[in-house]
Structures are given as structure tokens and as C-alpha cells.
Amino acid sequence: MAIKTGRIYHPDYHKHQTGNHPENARRLEVIVEILQQTGIWSRLVEIPPFLAEIEQLARAHSLPYIQIVESLCRQGGGYLDPDTVVSPASFEVARLAAGGVLAAAEAVWEGEVQNALALIRPPGHHACPDRGMGFCIFNNVAVAIRHLQSKHRLKKIFIVDWDVHHGNGLQEIFYSDPRVFYFSFHQYPHYPGTGRASEIGSGEGTGYTCNFPLLAGTGTTQYLNLAKNELLPRIEKFLPEIIFISAGFDAHVADPLGGMRLSVAGYESLTDMIMEVAEKVCGGKIVSVLEGGYHLKFLPYCILGHLRSLAGLKVEIPEQIYHYGD
């Protein structure tokens, strides 16, 4: 059954110029090309992004850090850290990325769509309150969650982070907040070095951070078993009002920056499982946000499989791509 699913995208996301870098504009180009070719693009509800206000960013980041990013971009660009490059347009593009997730969150919470996929860049889950890192400038998901907490007084929000890298920025921002449950399964040891099972939150937030570090080579079957036995019970117990997915697709078997063995089929099955529990606990309210994923052939099909589940639409994926790695 078709579901009203929103899509967030803007051509200005390509203006964040990173040069010969894994996180580059071509990632979004190939995603849009495949989604348009298969016809699913036109069947989604367009949700225009907007520039996040400084006060909205400041709910997740320090003002001095925001000013550092703005100043560096005005000076022509440079590096926030060895992995994180900014160009002259990057400050505005990063505000537009955060604003894209804000727009998605508003549309889902207000019932304009049941769920939404934010096809944005730069990604965000490594961005910490006072520093950017790991290709991330502002923490897009965190900015949106702080907005929902502030404007709509949400008391229970669940984050599923399935990026191959641990979302240290998301964890840090919400580590002592019992209103936000952060769940991550990720390759370990791997960048950024955080995400041990012993990291469970602090203060009132103790028990609301849950990390499952996985060895390189973990495949689809193990991911799905972990989701069934560990993730879904926690969502059902927490009873969130909305679910965010930090949707990195770099755990795919072919991804150059990871060492895991997830398939396109695996990502679709993971989405199916989260969709089912979301329907039970929060009326299906899901905001999915693009994080990593760097193989230009497989990334768009990972997104397509994810969207087939989110939108409940039948779109063909070649079998040799769908099950590659299974």
C-alpha cells in the first residue's frame, strides 16, 4: 500500500564543494538520477528545505563554533579538521541541510506526510556541539530534534543510527537527555573510535544510549537479528513519539569506507522492521536523513530499497544489485 512519503532535496546542496573527497556532490547526483529514472521521484511529496536560523543551530551547537564555520567560509574555505573541508558556499549549504531536516520533521509531525527522506549534504551525525568532524558541519538530526523538543514539547524521540561509523556527535549532544534514545550499530574498531557498549549515557540520560559495536565483516543476517532482538524491543519499550533514522549506507558490502557486508536487500528489510514498529508506537512517524554511503553504483539502489519500504511502492531493482553481498 502506498504511503505518503516526503522527499527533501535542493540543487544548492551541490554547492558544498569538497574537491577529490569521498563526500562530494556526485553522491546526490547519482541518487537523484536513479530515483528519477525509476519513476519513484515523482511519486513522493516534495518538501522544500529552508535555511536553518542561527538560533535553531544554536540549540545543538555553540555560537562560537557556528561563527568559526561562517568566518572560515567567508574567507574562502578551508578545513574544520583533516577530514572536513568547507568551501565559500558551505556555511549556507550546511544551514540548508539542517533546514531540510527541520522541514522534514515539521511535515511528519504535523501530518502533512507519514514519513520523509531528507536527501541532504553535508551529513551531520559526527558534528559535535563545538566542532565539525568526519565530513559533518552541523548535526542535522540533532538540530531537528532540539526544534521538536522546543516548539512541540516532544518528550520521547528515538534515533536509529545504522551508519557504518558511530555517530559520536549525536551521542554527545543527547548523552544526558532521557527524552532522546540513541541506538547505534556500527563497525568497531573504526572511525571515530567511540561507540563502545559501555557508553550508555550519563546522569538522567543513563540507559538511553545503546551501542552495539560490530566486527568488520558483519553481514545482513546478523544485522537483521540484532534489529529484531535488540533494536525493536527497545523502541517498543521506549514508546517514542517519532523516530529518526541516521541513514548511512556505508555498511554496504561494496562501500570503500567500511568493512561490513550489508546488501541493498538488507537495508530494505531493516526499513521494513522499523516501519512495522513505528506503525505500532508512533503512527508510522519516521524522518530518515542521509548520512554516509560512498559507492556511487550501489548507493542510489540502497536509497531506492529504503524508499520502497518507506513509501510502500513497487519499483524494480536488478536482482544482481539487490542481493549483492548476501
Name beta bridge partners: 242: 157
**Residues 161/125, Cβ–Cβ less than 8 Å:** yes
Q: Confirm if 40 and 310 have CB atoms less than 8 A apart.
A: no
Beta bridge partners of 85: 79
Element (H, E) at 18: none
Distance CA 292, CA 125 (A): 9
Q: Is CATH 1.10.620.20 correct for 5-322?
A: no
Residues assigned a catalytic role: 126
Burial class (CB in 10 A: 0-12, 13-18, 19+), 279: middle
Residues of the chain with pLDDT under 70: 1
pLDDT at 1: 66
Q: Alpha-carbon distance 162 to 22, whole Å? A: 19
Alpha carbon separation from 284 to 56, 131, 157, 182, 287 (Å, rounded): 26, 33, 13, 18, 10
pLDDT for the residue 2: 75
Model confidence, pTM: 0.98
* 260-295 confidence digits (pLDDT tens): 999 999 999 999 999 999 999 999 999 999 999 999
> Which runs of consecutive H residues, i.e. helices, occur in the chain?
26-38, 54-57, 63-74, 90-109, 140-152, 168-174, 220-226, 232-238, 264-282, 299-311, 319-322
What was the pLDDT predicted at 202?
A: 98
Do residues 262 and 223 make contact, with C-beta atoms less than 8 angstroms apart? yes
The end-to-end CA distance of the chain, in Å, is 27
What are the CA-CA distances from residue 281 to residues 152, 235, 240, 241, 319 (Å)? Answer: 18, 8, 7, 7, 33
Q: Where are the domains of the chain?
A: 5-322
Count of C-beta atoms within a 10 Å radius of residue 215: 12
Distances in whole angstroms, Cα of residue 140 to Cα of each of 119, 124, 246, 316, 324: 12, 5, 10, 31, 31
